Amino acid sequence: MNTMTRLVKNRIALAGLIIISLYVVIIVVSFFWLPFDPMEMNPELMLQKPSLSSGHIFGTDEFGRDILSRVMKGSAVSLMISILATLLGATFGILMGIWAGFLGGRWDNVIMRIADILFSFPSLLLAIFIMAILGENNANIIIAIGIVYIPQFARISRGAIIALKSNEFVRAARSNGAGSSYILFNHLLPNSIAPIIVQISLSLSVAILLESALSFLGLGIQPPEPSWGNMLSSARKVMMLAPWTAIYPGLAIVTLVLGFNLLGDGLRDILDPRLRNVR
Amino acid sequence: MLRFIVRRLLTLIPVLLGVSLIVFFLVRLIPGTALEMYMGTQVEATPEMMEELEKLFGEDKPVPVLYLEWMQDILKGDFGYSLRTGRPVLPDILSRLPLSLELTLFSLILALLIGIPLGIASSLRQNTFGDFLMRILGLLGLSLPQFWLAALMVMAFSGFNGWIPMGNYVGFLEAPLRNIKMLFFPSLAIGIGFAAVVMRYTRTSMLEVFQMDYIRTAKAKGLKRKSVIYTHALKNGILPVITVTGFNAGYLLSGAIVIEEVFALPGMGRLSLYAIYQRDYPIIQAVVMIVATIFVLVNLVTDIVYALADPRIRLSD
């Protein structure tokens, strides 16, 4: 069975894939159509209860803005930041990790000590610290979360390369005259991609949590631009009166994060050959 | 064993040096100096006064020299002065640290109490519906933002009189019951995600142990199922949980930063958030440095505990 078939057959991965696809559809729709203007304030429609008849299915917030429209608009920002941050962390982390693993010796030591130092900061604290220094804007959120991810990807890809590089096929390639870069990128990297893919999926989920935590603390996406995190932040003042202001943005976070976690967990089953034989 | 501990202690030095370099130089990246931020726009100072102030703020020297002086001060326990209040930073942090550490410890305990039994139960029912359900619940636990969970708890339970006591924080030693009551829901909000992690690790590790020869032997010589599971398998199955616990202590501590804000608890997290909003960099620097040091130390202790529990580690090293 190839990976795609196994992916569809694995119920957990499939459930994750479905959730993520639904979000992609919502995001595409949100570019062309939203139930209401997510930015328009309507003092007379303040804190309306969710109701079908008024059209505000998720209710309205303290400025009378439609929560469903804001949740929809926020999904694009959250997913974009999560993807770009993961891409940034993965690119630098993998490059560092595979060179460290492949070269070994002194380079390995230097690169992995740098990773150790970055690892000494709890991830949320490091992200908060970087945001406090760089200042709040969307590009900086991507940088902050990306930096948090670098050591994680470095460690995983290094481990994968080290496990592979003493294999016969590497020596065979070398005796055929292949250069180091060629072996690394054409032989070793493709063979160590499985754990990296799983890590990417899990990183996407954590990035959404990190971004929403930063925005919740006022260090991430700045109002009035809607994001799930900053919606929850402003909901804190009114949530005792209007619980829906806090419930729906949170549910949006949970479902998308769950989607990536399901996909990642399913992918681990599928891609890890050791687990495959157990089942 | 002693050699293992000494060697492991020595690796701390370069890591903590690196951490201090990052903390010091990242703050230097901020445009404007601490002095300019302190002065703001309102104060007009004569050149002589400025010179005096520059000396006071230590900005009259090249950056590497400043770093070395900063390191010296830190080793003496002097983390500088707040830009807003002018008070020394360290006492303010130390007075708030116990609450954050207590919160971290409570959430750790809750997570282990929830995670380990569920993990064992799940491993005993491998590939049944119950196992599948717990796997989904575990993934759900990993997907819950701590601060949202905290907000839900406030909404759901603050209506019940005394479930989430508001008002002044009291220490554990002063009024243990009230203290535990105050910290129960915050700890739960922080710990649930970690409980899911513990559950998953416990399950995988127990399943691996069940495959071992000595378990087969124990079964073959006619031991009861209970005794095989709880005396033979559990001891080894629990080992990886030690590592993952140590490694996540920092994650729980930084979770406390966010959760303290939601429950209005006066811990280190709240202090550092206000410092961030007010751009009070000496406090931020000190908090990051202290938390990273705690994190590194906890990892060290974890490694040592693991080596004590599993002789293979220290013998192979």
Q: Please check whether residue B238 is in contact with residue B305, taking contact to mean a CB–CB distance below 8 angstroms.
A: no
**Local mean pLDDT, 10-residue blocks, chain A (279 residues):** 73 93 95 86 80 81 87 93 96 92 87 88 90 89 95 91 84 85 84 88 94 93 91 88 91 96 89 53
Task: Report percent pLDDT > 90 for chain B.
Answer: 26
Q: Do B30 and A133 touch (CB under 8 A)?
A: yes
Three-state SS across chain B? Answer: CHHHHHHHHHCHHHHHHHHHHHHHHHHHCCCCCHHHHHHCCCCCCCHHHHHHHHHHHCCCCCHHHHHHHHHHHHHCCCCCECCCCCCEHHHHHHHHHHHHHHHHHHHHHHHHHHHHHHHHHHHHCCCCHHHHHHHHHHHHHHHCCHHHHHHHHHHHHCCCCCCCCCCCCCCCCCCHHHHHHHHHHHHHHHHHHHHHHHHHHHHHHHHHHHCCHHHHHHHHCCCCHHHHHHHHHHHHHCHHHHHHHHHHHHHHHHHHHHHHHHHCCCCHHHHHHHHHHCCCHHHHHHHHHHHHHHHHHHHHHHHHHHHHHCHHHHHHC
Chain A residue numbers with beta carbons less than 8 Å from the beta carbon of B27 are 133
Question: pLDDT value at position B217?
Answer: 85
Domains of chain B by start residue, with CATH: 89-316 (1.10.3720.10)
Q: Do B152 and A250 touch (CB under 8 A)?
A: yes
Which of A29, A38, A32, A123 is CA-nearest to residue A85?
A123
Whether the pLDDT of residue B17 is over 50: the answer is yes
| Residue B244 banded pLDDT, cuts 50, 70, 90 | confident
Q: Please check whether residue A94 is in contact with residue A197, taking contact to mean a CB–CB distance below 8 angstroms.
A: no
How far apart are alpha carbons B259 and B186 in whole angstroms?
6
Q: Which residue of B has its CA nearest to A218?
A: B277
Question: pLDDT value at position A277?
Answer: 42
From residue B169, give the alpha-carbon distance in Å to each of B156, B166, B185, B260.
21, 8, 14, 11
Q: Do A254 and B26 touch (CB under 8 A)?
A: no
Tens-place pLDDT, residues B114-155:
999 999 999 988 888 889 999 999 999 999 999 999 999 988
Q: Which of A132, A240, A253 sits opposite B155 (nearest CB)?
A: A240
CA of A183 vs chain B CAs: smallest distance (Å): 31
Question: pLDDT value at position A276?
Answer: 46
CA of B48 vs chain A CAs: smallest distance (Å): 30
Question: pLDDT value at position A38?
Answer: 83
A221 or B86, greater pLDDT: A221
Question: pLDDT value at position A84?
Answer: 97
Q: Which residue of B has its CA nearest to A250?
A: B148
Q: Do B262 and A212 touch (CB under 8 A)?
A: no
Question: pLDDT value at position A278?
Answer: 40
Tens-place pLDDT, residues B262-271:
888 888 988 9
Chain B residue numbers with beta carbons less than 8 Å from the beta carbon of A205 are 142-143
Question: pLDDT value at position A26?
Answer: 94
B210 or A274, greater pLDDT: B210
Q: Do B276 and A132 touch (CB under 8 A)?
A: yes
Domains of chain A by start residue, with CATH: 69-275 (1.10.3720.10)
Tens-place pLDDT, residues B300-312:
888 888 888 877 7
Q: Which residue of B has its CA nearest to A249?
A: B148
Q: A interface mutation test: which of B122, B139, B201, B211 has the most A CBs within 10 A? A: B139
Whether the pLDDT of residue B238 is over 60: the answer is yes
Tens-place pLDDT, residues B100-124:
999 999 999 999 999 999 999 999 8
Question: pLDDT value at position A120?
Answer: 87
| Residue B34 banded pLDDT, cuts 50, 70, 90 | low
Question: pLDDT value at position B58?
Answer: 65
Q: Do B18 and A254 touch (CB under 8 A)?
A: no
How far apart are alpha carbons B124 and B121 in whole angstroms?
5
From residue B176, give the alpha-carbon distance in Å to each of B113, B157, B222.
20, 21, 47
B12 or A6, greater pLDDT: B12
CA of B220 vs chain A CAs: smallest distance (Å): 22
Question: pLDDT value at position B32?
Answer: 61
CA of B269 vs chain A CAs: smallest distance (Å): 10
Cα dihedral A24/A27/A32/A35 (nearest 10): 120
Chain A residue numbers with beta carbons less than 8 Å from the beta carbon of B145 are 209, 212-213, 216, 232, 250, 253-254, 257
CA of B174 vs chain A CAs: smallest distance (Å): 30
Chain A residue numbers with beta carbons less than 8 Å from the beta carbon of B291 are 121-122, 125
Count the helix, strand and coil residues of chain A and give each as a percent rounded to the nearest 5: 75, 0, 25
Residue range B275-302: mean pLDDT, rounded: 88
Whether the pLDDT of residue B314 is over 90: the answer is no
Residue range B36-64: mean pLDDT, rounded: 70
Amino acid (1-letter code) at residue A23: Y
Q: Which residue of A has its CA nearest to B280?
A: A132
For chain A, list residues whose CB is within 8 angstroms of any CB belonging to chain B: 12, 113-114, 116-118, 120-125, 128-130, 132-133, 205, 209, 212-213, 216-219, 232, 235-236, 239-240, 243, 246-247, 250, 253-254, 257-258, 261-262, 265, 279
Q: A interface mutation test: which of B142, B252, B297, B303 has the most A CBs within 10 A? A: B142
Chain B residue numbers with beta carbons less than 8 Å from the beta carbon of A121 are 19, 22, 250, 288, 291-292, 295
Residue A82 structure tokens: 């999560």
Please compute Rg for chain A using Cα positions: 22
Q: B interface mutation test: which of A129, A232, A275, A279 has the most B CBs within 10 A? A: A129
How far apart are alpha carbons A114 and A111 in whole angstroms?
5
B168 or A14, greater pLDDT: A14
Q: Do B139 and A239 touch (CB under 8 A)?
A: no
